[in-house]
Amino acid sequence: MPLRVAEPYDHPRLRALLADEIELLAPQLVGQAAANALEIAAASGLPALPATPLIAHWTRLRADGEHWSGALRGHLGDGLPFADDSFRVVLLRHAADAVQQPARLYAEAARVLEPEGLLLVLGFHPLSLWSPWLAWRRRDAPTTLQWLAPPAIGRTLAQAGVEVFVRQRGGAVLPGVRLRPVSAVCGPCALLLARKRRSSLRALRLDARGRVMPVGASLASGVLRNAA
């Protein structure tokens, strides 16, 4: 049965590959501390994330074509319904697999990421021995699979003010073939770590006499936009 946009990634081979991704992701995620974190995933049937005791709250959305569901529902074209700089950690886990305009998704992820916050992007690398099989599995799906090509996505994120500083690959080179040195070079799973390189310092506001005026501030991250 071909893999469709709204279906869980439930093929045994694919489930094993997604489990390999968790091993790749866990060391980067478990030590992160944040009041608010956002996960946008391709399907509700993905393997559970590792425990993140230093992250107080996760907001989880499920990407389904150009829409998302989960904690909130909406359309990608309308933007994510969160204020700028809302999340210290943003995880895109195959979120762009079936999105027709992934650049829009990356731009929105960058917008809601706090300055110096961490963006993690997981997907399938286009240059691996899995690529023909993954493409064949989606042959009858409404949209083609969007590959995670690190150079192209790095340029897209750079335009949004987010700098990729780590590129990793992993996962079984072929089903049942787990050779870590080889997987690190040509594994099918790709992970990008990026940081929002923008200062969070704000200019002081002065009155007519040159005195500093009080400015409202909060240590907490922003949450939802005010409803119109």
What's the pLDDT tens digit per position in 129-142?
A: 999 988 888 777 76
pLDDT tier at 162, thresholds 50, 70, 90: very high
Work out the average pLDDT over 44-62. Answer: 92
- Report the predicted TM-score, pTM, of the whole model to 2 decimal places: 0.82
Structure-token match 């750079």, residue found: 158
pLDDT at residue number 7? 53
Mode of pairing for the β-strands spanning 58-64 and 37-41: parallel
* Tokens found for residue 198: 């923008």
Contacts of residue 180, defined as CB under 8 A and 6 or more positions apart, other chains included, come to 170
Locate the domains of the chain by residue range: 12-196
DSSP lists the bridge partners of residue 15 as none
pLDDT category, 189, cuts 50, 70, 90?
very high
Does the structure show a pLDDT above 70 at 210?
no
Amino acid at 72: L
- In the DSSP assignment, the letter for residue 142 is S
Cβ atoms of residues 110 and 85 within 8 Å: no
C-alpha span between 65 and 99 (Å, rounded): 5
Given a cut of 50, whether residue 225 has pLDDT beyond it is: no
CA distances 223 to 57, 84, 87, 95, Å, are 11, 9, 8, 21
pLDDT value at 179 more than 60? yes
CB of 150 closer than 8 Å to CB of 190: yes
Listed in order, strand segments (DSSP E) in 158-200 are 162-170, 189-196
Q: Which residue has the higher pLDDT, 210 or 101?
A: 101
Query: What is the number of helices (H) and of strands (E) in the chain?
Result: 5, 8
Under CATH, what is the fold of the domain 12-196? Rossmann fold (3.40.50)
What's the mean per-residue pLDDT of the chain? 83
- In the chain, what are the helix, strand and coil shares in percent, each to the nearest 5? 25, 25, 50
Mean pLDDT of all residues in 172-199: 87
